[in-house]
Amino acid sequence: SSLSIPTATSARTIPVKLLEENRRLINQHQTAIHGFKVSLTHLIAWTIVRAIEKHPVMNAGFSEMEDEPHRLNRAAINLGIAIDVEKRGERLLLVPNIQDAGRLDFPSFAAAYDGLVLRARQGKLALEDFRGTTATLTNPGMLGTALSVPRLMAGQGTIVGVGAVGYPAEYSGMSPQVIAELGLAKVMTVTSTYDHRIIQGAESGAFLSTQEKLLLGEDGFYDRIF
């Protein structure tokens, strides 16, 4: 059914120096209190929730009622998390969701995220874990993929694809000393693939812009997490 959705994709390359430094500081604190480890994906997923709050159209859905097209505006953000599971040498993709992610604080959100991943790997997910997804995050960058245009599932507004964190390809073979002398910084490319019947390119672009601003510390993003 996803083949019937007219989609478009926006892409944005984002600097990650501040993201990595703040994650390091967060995890130093977590180690001191014997807390859970915070990943880059935790933080990126949290920006999606916060950015959707500013751009709620990205959480909308398309529906036909009595042969008329409608945009369904949804208050709850049910954020799907694409999880790669290996079973008997085969790869399986599961996409459960964090229900009403916008009502959670960051520790509760990260705990819900980790709970989904754990239950996916243990084969303990239930049907309810997959129901009502409104937007999705997929992170093929963990496997080194630089940029991804993932498939949007019916009923969802957008799926965000996160590329690998690294230096621009033309500099990847240089020594750390030369990279430091040139003042180069790591980047990642983030894509937003959206249902073009209800979301316009300018809205998707603004959504990615807000994500970048949050990752760069605007609106007290890291202050709230700390």
Q: b or e along 161-180 (b: 16 or more beta carbons within 10 Å of the residue's beta carbon)?
A: bbbbbeeeeeeeeeeeeeee
197 with 6: CB under 8 angstroms? yes
Strands (E), 55-125: 61-65, 68-72, 79-81, 83-87, 90-94, 97-98
**At 168, which helix (H) or strand (E)?**
none
CA distance 170 to 172: 6
* Cα distance between residue 96 and residue 69, in whole Å: 27
Straight-line distance from the first to the last Cα atom of the chain, in angstroms, rounded to the nearest whole number: 42
Q: Judging by DSSP bridges, how do beta strands 79-81 and 135-138 pair with one another?
A: parallel
Catalytic residues: 196
